[in-house]
Chains A and B, each alone.
Chain A
């Protein structure tokens, strides 16, 4: 039988049941794209007209039912679409879903595997949903995490199926549910083994079900359909708006758009509601925040995790055994993620007791997961058994890679290098988890400097996704490939940085805390400094951060840079503030006193004495201005890193900033932020900040030239015609 469709197949049975099988011809996953929608629209029409067809079952020929839309299409929306075009783009799929649910024949969805985003929206447009019992068969609408909303009826159908109160948390968090939870939540109707979902769907079809959706039948009613005439429902929408501010602040347009689409849409007839949903979607797709979030937190992140920065032509490294030297916070965390990835780990410290304590960290973390039912005791025992705590370097024999995470001291590190290289095989890569010491210098202690590399993990290692890989002068591309392979194995996002002082993340991160200190120096009230950072979207304010990292550390780094005539050195504001705090004996949380007071009972709070030492100015700046200072200070330093070759790609800059120190995701990262402001405008504003606050904001000639040419960091996307899938 010839198939007039590309991404689907239809199999009509003699029993009147037609199977509509999703089977993407080009990719491993079924995805929503133009050709798929065209196929589906034609197929629905065919099935509707065919009198021999009495019922339809949607299922998939792939292991997953369907992932969402093709994000490569979405990410370019902002740059290439008007709002009306975005509306049409979204409504195209909406119409297809609407045709499916109103075709007048019962439609069951047999989800043999996961269904996310557009895939789950398709399921919601069916009259009955059966899902595989396999715990991996998760379902959900994660669009909010990309700065979007589910625009093929997702916001409207989910709300009509389970009510606004239950639908909002799912839509606003984008959380996917495992099969059992999905059944409990009422978003699927039944569970069955993956190979039995079609059978289950057949049973449903045999029960002569209504060939329509509840909301298309007379008498369908939910209290929230009365909008503000139902005060309780209206108040829950109001509280939801406050929850959004609490959880996401004022910079993310998607959560509010979802809430509005839901609370306004539920009051409208379905067709009007779907149209309104598409309109809200259009406002998001044509907003730079969605582009920024999709590009960095999805496309660039996935590419990095798939080895985008891996040198070509180097065979993939197979790891069996890893050595971790130093069982402190970092070493313990590296041991944990390595063992979780199935590697044998030798965890070394100066004595076995210390090493065992490091292993204890894994025990603690996994123990919690076991008690929450996220991990079995068996699996935990297996993983723990892979970690060998010891003080004996000889046990490192046979390691494919050794990661050193000892005290940040050149001599101690050099000695460690020699001791390790004495026992490990020739092919072993040696990585230092330093966050500050130049790799090229550390490699001097190595017999094999080409196999020496920096692997800067972030604390806590098991929760922080970034891995900053630092390439020294002599580091070979094979070694870099190995480091990236290791990063991929332990599920990190590897970025590649060329050796220089502070590498990338430490260097640019510092500008945040210095800018906070500089504000204090300028007479800004401390609470305003902290609140502005949080309002911008940083997880923690700069003064609190200084207390965490200690005031001494940045000062030490700053002084070293001056002493050693670092060519990249830029004078920071706020240095005197840090020095004053050290002088006052208030340099850190660890020491019990910093910018904050740490009462033995109760919450920490800003130290009252700050007002005396750093008097507040009469006139206080707008919060927006402070936000701008934070974002500009970091973005311009990132641009310098790219200019100086410390960074090689804007993607690395963006990933490093978002995943390294929590630069707000809505910006897409430090360089995406410049593109978002517009490089010309950015230079103009940076000039104004330079005038007011000093050279740390000054755009370089390189940046100025880019601005003159209008040369953004990311290429403008191709015109719409080129983006259309074949």
Chain B
């Protein structure tokens, strides 16, 4: 494979995915447009050098459908020769978009491109793309479909995580995110979002609650007993008959936040860097995708991490920093336990519990976050991972150059 380099990364701050969230009035195509403009303008990039812009999205319907990437390419006034495509691999979409561009470059069929993702969860609501896996009753029934929150509680039950454990993890995520913001660790990547007048409407991750403690989290109600009562607890037990009673430990406070946002990664081969006058920041070492048990649907990261290490001939100890999307506290806790990864190396600047998880965008965002952190700590390698709908999992390994 030809070397594939990361030249840059930008992302929007994450707005609360609600009608009172700052980004609610900004259509998803504008979010992508603004990050495309930013990544171009700050490098004075000739966009005709790009072959493809790939944008992941987990609800690619209505205003997020119709190959949003192409609409944004034209809307951002990129060269009309730049191709575009939309990627849907649930929550893995943003990272899959990066991997897709890397694959094109690595195969020698493209010299540069942009991979990224977008999700305006306040506008295109979770579940609006439906799909057979959830909404075809025969398929859902036969595949023991259960919503992700149930899967997160299954993990906690099987692994013996109590409410205090997951809340402690969540409080730590908030603490780390607060420190990161205080120390302006995200500055290199954040592009404030502007409204129609050109005024800045959001310049920070507004979902955060830095004052959070284990005690404040303890007062929150479990989020998923109502779903369980609809029959998903029985489905969980049919799949995991060793469970006597599902423990509902996940709440809004220790699950990922619903937010709006977009992020992109500029990738290219060596020649592109020369033509564009850019210095590479990191190399893509490799990646992997996997399917795992779909009722829990959140255990893919462990298996896919091992697969990615195998692809790259690396070992666990070769990875300096880990970035695993905090879909739910139990997801990351399970990964650290099974993979034997120290918490000090995992999600150093907090994760989606504190910052929010704009589904299709997150993969591209956290890849950039961990790259910034590698540079800050002057470390070399990192693995970025996400669990995704219906049991999918994804991993990408990067290495600084």
| Cβ of A535 to closest chain B Cβ, rounded Å | 6
| Cβ of A666 to closest chain B Cβ, rounded Å | 15
In the complex, A247 Cα to B146 Cα: how many Å?
A: 16
Q: Mark A221-237, 1 if CB is under 8 A from B, else 0.
A: 00000001101001101
For residue B198, which residues in chain A have a CB less than 8 angstroms away from its CB? none
For residue A623, which residues in chain B have a CB less than 8 angstroms away from its CB? 238, 241
Known: A228-B135, A238-B137, A238-B145. A246 touches B234 (CB 8 A): yes
In the complex, A205 Cα to B225 Cα: how many Å?
A: 52
Q: A238, B244: Cβ atoms under 8 Å? A: no
In the complex, A528 Cα to B243 Cα: how many Å?
A: 7
Q: Is A33 an interface residue (CB 8 A)?
A: no
Q: Is A390 an interface residue (CB 8 A)?
A: no
Q: Is A256 an interface residue (CB 8 A)?
A: yes
Q: A237, B135: Cβ atoms under 8 Å? A: yes
Q: A243, B137: Cβ atoms under 8 Å? A: no
For residue A193, which residues in chain B have a CB less than 8 angstroms away from its CB? none
Contact partner of A605 among B131, B229, B244, CB < 8 A? B244
User: What are the 3 A-B residue pairs with the smallest beta carbon separation, nearest first?
Assistant: A246-B231, A242-B231, A234-B135
Known: A239-B230, A242-B230. A605 touches B245 (CB 8 A): yes
List A594-630 residues whose CB lies under 8 Å from chain B.
Answer: 603, 605-606, 620, 623
Nearest B residue to A242, CB-CB: B231
Contact partner of A535 among B135, B137, B241, CB < 8 A? B241
Q: Is B345 an interface residue (CB 8 A)?
A: no
In the complex, A160 Cα to B241 Cα: how many Å?
A: 39
For residue A247, which residues in chain B have a CB less than 8 angstroms away from its CB? 231
In the complex, A241 Cα to B144 Cα: how many Å?
A: 10
Nearest B residue to A259, CB-CB: B137
Contact partner of A237 among B137, B233, B241, B243, CB < 8 A? B137
Nearest B residue to A230, CB-CB: B130
List A233-269 residues whose CB lies under 8 Å from chain B.
Answer: 234-235, 237-247, 249-250, 256, 259-260, 263
Known: A527-B242, A527-B243. A242 touches B235 (CB 8 A): yes
Known: A231-B127, A235-B127, A235-B130. A241 touches B140 (CB 8 A): yes
| Cβ of A124 to closest chain B Cβ, rounded Å | 23
Among A239, A243, A249: residue with most chain B CB under 10 A:
A239
| Cβ of A258 to closest chain B Cβ, rounded Å | 10
In the complex, A545 Cα to B234 Cα: how many Å?
A: 20
| Cβ of A587 to closest chain B Cβ, rounded Å | 21
Nearest B residue to A260, CB-CB: B138
Q: B237, A531: Cβ atoms under 8 Å? A: yes
For residue A259, which residues in chain B have a CB less than 8 angstroms away from its CB? 137
Q: B137, A228: Cβ atoms under 8 Å? A: no
| Cβ of A441 to closest chain B Cβ, rounded Å | 43
Contact partner of B135 among A238, A243, A525, A606, CB < 8 A? A238
Q: Is B224 an interface residue (CB 8 A)?
A: no
In the complex, A250 Cα to B233 Cα: how many Å?
A: 14
Q: Is A530 an interface residue (CB 8 A)?
A: yes
Q: Is B78 an interface residue (CB 8 A)?
A: no
Q: B145, A256: Cβ atoms under 8 Å? A: no
Interface residues, chain B, with chain A CB atoms under 8 Å away: 125, 127-128, 130-132, 134-138, 140-141, 145-146, 229-235, 237-238, 241-245
For residue A249, which residues in chain B have a CB less than 8 angstroms away from its CB? 234, 238
Q: A528, B241: Cβ atoms under 8 Å? A: yes
Contact partner of B238 among A234, A243, A245, CB < 8 A? A245
- A228-B132, A244-B137 given; name 9 further pairs at CB < 8 Å: A228-B136, A229-B130, A231-B125, A240-B137, A242-B232, A245-B141, A245-B235, A527-B244, A623-B238
Interface residues, chain A, with chain B CB atoms under 8 Å away: 228-229, 231, 234-235, 237-247, 249-250, 256, 259-260, 263, 525-528, 530-532, 535, 603, 605-606, 620, 623
For residue B135, which residues in chain A have a CB less than 8 angstroms away from its CB? 228, 231, 234-235, 237-238
Nearest B residue to A262, CB-CB: B137
Contact partner of B231 among A234, A245, A620, CB < 8 A? A245
For residue A228, which residues in chain B have a CB less than 8 angstroms away from its CB? 130-132, 135-136
For residue A606, which residues in chain B have a CB less than 8 angstroms away from its CB? 244
In the complex, A528 Cα to B239 Cα: how many Å?
A: 11
In the complex, A525 Cα to B132 Cα: how many Å?
A: 35
Nearest B residue to A239, CB-CB: B230
Among A241, A528, A605: residue with most chain B CB under 10 A:
A241
For residue B235, which residues in chain A have a CB less than 8 angstroms away from its CB? 242, 245
For residue A243, which residues in chain B have a CB less than 8 angstroms away from its CB? 230-231
Known: A228-B130, A241-B140, A260-B137. A530 touches B234 (CB 8 A): no
Nearest A residue to B235, CB-CB: A245
| Cβ of B115 to closest chain A Cβ, rounded Å | 28
For residue B131, which residues in chain A have a CB less than 8 angstroms away from its CB? 228
7 of the cross-chain contacts (CB-CB < 8 Å) are A228-B130, A231-B125, A231-B127, A235-B130, A242-B230, A247-B231, A528-B241
For residue A527, which residues in chain B have a CB less than 8 angstroms away from its CB? 241-244
Q: B230, A256: Cβ atoms under 8 Å? A: no
In the complex, A238 Cα to B146 Cα: how many Å?
A: 10
Known: A242-B231, A246-B230, A246-B234. A531 touches B141 (CB 8 A): no
For residue A531, which residues in chain B have a CB less than 8 angstroms away from its CB? 237-238, 241-244
In the complex, A623 Cα to B233 Cα: how many Å?
A: 16
| Cβ of B137 to closest chain A Cβ, rounded Å | 4
Known: A531-B241, A535-B238, A605-B244. A263 touches B137 (CB 8 A): yes
Q: A231, B231: Cβ atoms under 8 Å? A: no
Q: A238, B140: Cβ atoms under 8 Å? A: yes
Nearest A residue to B137, CB-CB: A241
In the complex, A249 Cα to B242 Cα: how many Å?
A: 17
For residue A532, which residues in chain B have a CB less than 8 angstroms away from its CB? 241
In the complex, A315 Cα to B244 Cα: how many Å?
A: 54
For residue A241, which residues in chain B have a CB less than 8 angstroms away from its CB? 137-138, 140-141, 145, 231
| Cβ of B68 to closest chain A Cβ, rounded Å | 19
| Cβ of B308 to closest chain A Cβ, rounded Å | 30
In the complex, A234 Cα to B140 Cα: how many Å?
A: 12
For residue A525, which residues in chain B have a CB less than 8 angstroms away from its CB? 242
Q: B234, A245: Cβ atoms under 8 Å? A: yes
For residue A603, which residues in chain B have a CB less than 8 angstroms away from its CB? 245
In the complex, A605 Cα to B146 Cα: how many Å?
A: 24
| Cβ of B300 to closest chain A Cβ, rounded Å | 22
Q: B141, A231: Cβ atoms under 8 Å? A: no
For residue B125, which residues in chain A have a CB less than 8 angstroms away from its CB? 231
| Cβ of B286 to closest chain A Cβ, rounded Å | 36
For residue B138, which residues in chain A have a CB less than 8 angstroms away from its CB? 241, 256, 260
In the complex, A620 Cα to B242 Cα: how many Å?
A: 9
Nearest B residue to A228, CB-CB: B130
In the complex, A246 Cα to B135 Cα: how many Å?
A: 17
| Cβ of A297 to closest chain B Cβ, rounded Å | 23
| Cβ of A570 to closest chain B Cβ, rounded Å | 28
Among B136, B232, B243: residue with most chain A CB under 10 A:
B136
Nearest A residue to B132, CB-CB: A228
For residue A605, which residues in chain B have a CB less than 8 angstroms away from its CB? 244-245
| Cβ of B63 to closest chain A Cβ, rounded Å | 14
Q: A231, B245: Cβ atoms under 8 Å? A: no
| Cβ of B179 to closest chain A Cβ, rounded Å | 39
| Cβ of B323 to closest chain A Cβ, rounded Å | 32
| Cβ of A365 to closest chain B Cβ, rounded Å | 28
In the complex, A150 Cα to B316 Cα: how many Å?
A: 59
For residue B245, which residues in chain A have a CB less than 8 angstroms away from its CB? 603, 605
Nearest A residue to B128, CB-CB: A231
| Cβ of A168 to closest chain B Cβ, rounded Å | 10
Nearest A residue to B241, CB-CB: A531
Contact partner of A234 among B130, B146, B234, CB < 8 A? B130
In the complex, A235 Cα to B140 Cα: how many Å?
A: 11
